[in-house]
Amino acid sequence: MMVTATASQGGLKSHLSIDGGVGLSGVMTVSGAKNSALVLMTAALLTNEPVELCNVPDLTDIQGMGAILEALGVSVVRSPNSLKLTATHLKSSEPPYELVNCLRASFFSIGSLLGRLGHARVPLPGGCRIGARPVVEHIRGLKAMGAVVNVNHGLVTAALPGGLKRLKGASIVLDCPSVGATETLLMAAVLADGTSTIENAAKEPEVQDLANLLNCMGAKVSGAGGPVITVEGVERLHGCSAYSVIPDRIEAGTFLMAAAITRSTLRVEPVVPEHLNSVLQKLRDCGCQLEIDSVGITIRPGEIKAVDVITQPFPGFPTDLQAPFMALMATAQGTSVIAEKIYENRMQHVAELQRMGASIRIEGSTGIVEGVPRLSGAPVTGSDLRASAAMVLAALAADGTTQVSGLEHLDRGYADIEAKLNQVGASVRRQQS
Ligand code: UD1
């Protein structure tokens, strides 16, 4: 698989040096959705024919998933923006620990490996900085479809019991609308014998994207995007050419907030506005004008006023934009209350924002943010992907120069971030630490 310069830089110890207080103008281009692309890649395991994905972002996470698939025997060919994945001869059903450990979404391959091969052994993803992130819902659903699943020594082993050739369709009610569990079970159900229903399913756009790809491959999935997904199992799936990944709604939201925090008029495209309704509403509520057309959004921020936010599953406000929105609120007029309801430990950006002069108090998983007139540049470190994005936004608005470290996180989810920002007038340099 081709490794490009931008993403490979994530492996080196480097930082972004950002001169703040510079107005932005122009158009910011949104890449394909990381969280969709990662899961669509694992769907390629379900067929022996090539699956071609376009609009795939150039990210270290995508490279990591490519390496995992290659270890399983998949041919992975990358050309600019697209990936051709061919899983004709799988040589293993055991993604290697050292690769899975770095990439939680790779655990979701357990559903497609089980559906295709009848067995899989996948390391449990570790906890991560933002919370425990269990996979019990994935396992419960696979068991309901007839798999024998054991967890031993950090490995999840799933297999069809003797005599069974395919998983069995089942009615599954999720305890919580987990995105990953919904995707894992969807991929397991498409090749199962009979009809499956997944109730209390995640409604995120990435789940819809997966269902659309699976249907292009010959699956029979209906209801994705709603609370109940129905899957009529089929005996085999075929390949698919030029399936285009949806635009990344989290990257788009981050760029809209970059405009708001620098009080700059910007155009952000391509965007599917319905994927961002809760975010657009909050941006309007805090004083931004939005012009929405079929391709993108032009944002014209006014005086930014404080608004409250509670993170929720889609279509609520996404947890992945909580940290960037908090950076924006740190510069707003008034006090906002930002409640994190998805992850128990997703407030680590607060201490770093405080180093830049933000006034934030934490009570449990809630941040109470009193806006200040100016943030000030300082050396800061992003502790996870979206915390790093929050640091970049704060830096764009701060007086002086900010040094943002922790790029190994940022490069997982934001393709070409400095080039995209510099193109609209920001002053961002990647430097060796
Ligand atoms: C996905 C996204 C991630 C996003 C998250 C929530 C990908 C690759 N990642 O992660 O960026 O932050 O959705 O929008 O798509 N839970 C359980 N039991 C389970 C599974 C989950 O209690 O078996 C809980 C989790 O602890 C968490 C909540 O459900 O509180 C949401 O998790 P989930 O939707 O599973 O997140 P991911 O799919 O891992």
Q: What is the mean pLDDT of residues 99-104?
A: 84
Residue whose CA is closest, atom 26 of ligand 1? 133
Cα–Cα distance, 163 to 149 (Å, whole number): 16
Ligand 1 nearest-atom number relative to CA 320: 12
Residue whose CA is closest, atom 4 of ligand 1? 320
pLDDT digits (tens, 9 = 90+) for 335-363: 999 999 999 889 999 999 999 999 999 99
pLDDT digits (tens, 9 = 90+) for 78-99: 998 999 999 999 999 999 888 8
Is pLDDT above 90 for 128? no
Q: Which overall architecture, per CATH, does domain 34-244 show? A: Alpha-beta prism (3.65)
pLDDT at 6: 44
- Sequence-distant (≥ 6) Cβ neighbours of residue 168 within 8 angstroms: 145, 146, 192, 193, 194
* pLDDT tier, 5 (very low <50, low <70, confident <90, very high otherwise): very low
Residues in the chain: 433
- Domain 8-31+247-432 sits in CATH at 3.65.10.10
The residue with tokens 């990435």 is: 206
Cα–Cα distance, 368 to 335 (Å, whole number): 7
Q: What is the mean pLDDT of residues 382-391?
A: 94
**CA angle, corner 248, sides to 236 and 274, nearest 5?**
90
Instruction: Identify whether the C-beta of residue 121 lies closer than 8 Å to the C-beta of residue 94.
Output: yes
**CA angle, corner 68, sides to 29 and 64, nearest 5?**
35
Share of the chain above pLDDT 70, in %: 96
User: In terms of pLDDT, which residue wins out, 287 or 7?
Assistant: 287
**Ligand 1 within 6 A of 52 CB?**
no
Q: What is the mean pLDDT of residues 384-389?
A: 94
Among 41, 139, 174, 178, which residue has the most ligand 1 atoms within 8 Å of its CB, making it the best to mutate? 178
DSSP class of residue 300 equals E
pLDDT at 3: 39
pLDDT digits (tens, 9 = 90+) for 194-226: 999 999 999 999 999 999 999 999 999 999 999
Ligand 1 nearest-atom number relative to CA 343: 30
Average pLDDT, rounded, for the chain: 94
* pLDDT tier, 104 (very low <50, low <70, confident <90, very high otherwise): confident
In this prediction the pTM is 0.96
Q: What is the mean pLDDT of residues 285-307?
A: 97
Is pLDDT above 50 for 57? yes
**Ligand 1 within 6 A of 320 CB?**
yes
pLDDT at 191: 97
pLDDT at 12: 55
Cα 133 to ligand 1 centre (Å): 7
Cα–Cα distance, 317 to 340 (Å, whole number): 10
The reply to whether 8-31+247-432 and 34-244 are identical in fold is yes
Q: List the catalytic residues.
A: 128
Domain ranges in the chain? 8-31+247-432, 34-244
**Ligand 1 within 6 A of 42 CB?**
no
Tokens linked to 358: 């933000």
